[in-house]
Amino acid sequence: MTSKVNLSEKFALFDKAWTPKIAGQVNDMHLKLAKFRGEFQWHSHEKEDELFLVVQGTMRMAFRDREEIVEAGEFIIVPRGVEHRAGAVGEECHVILLEPATTVNTGDGAETEFTVKDLEEI
């Protein structure tokens, strides 16, 4: 049995930035919630596309050749293999990520202090 999900309630369950939480699953895709503060690290995903949907605040998606500003109610898709770095414009933004369950948040490179492998379900 499924029931609706209230995003505000789910985002209120955690405070730590850059620690995605699994809020749902659609086939082999995870719907993850994350809070962004400051800048993340440069990385890419060889096999996975990622969708970033901003629900609160403003996000900056940096690419090596440009930046995109993504406002609440907007999304951006980062194709596999494209190096990118997400960040919050202002103090914080809340983001929904839709990506394959196999996606590691720091990409295909070495693990860093940002790497989260065992995601909590909320």
Residue 26 is predicted with a pLDDT of 92
Residue 1 is predicted with a pLDDT of 56
The DSSP element (H or E) to which 51 belongs, if any, is strand 50-63
Residues with Cβ within 8 Å of 63's Cβ and at least 6 positions away in sequence, in order, are: 82, 83, 84
Instruction: Supply the pTM of this predicted model.
Output: 0.89
Residue 91 is predicted with a pLDDT of 94
- Tell me the average confidence (pLDDT) per consecutive run of 10 residues in the chain, 122 residues long: 87 94 93 96 91 97 97 96 95 95 76 74 88
Beta partners for residue 60, in sequence order = 69, 87
Specify whether the backbone of 12 is left (phi greater than 0), alpha (psi in -120 to 50) or beta: alpha
| Complete domains list, the chain, with CATH | 15-100 (2.60.120.10)
CB neighbourhood size of 105 (10 A): 23
Residue 86 is predicted with a pLDDT of 96
Residue 113 is predicted with a pLDDT of 74
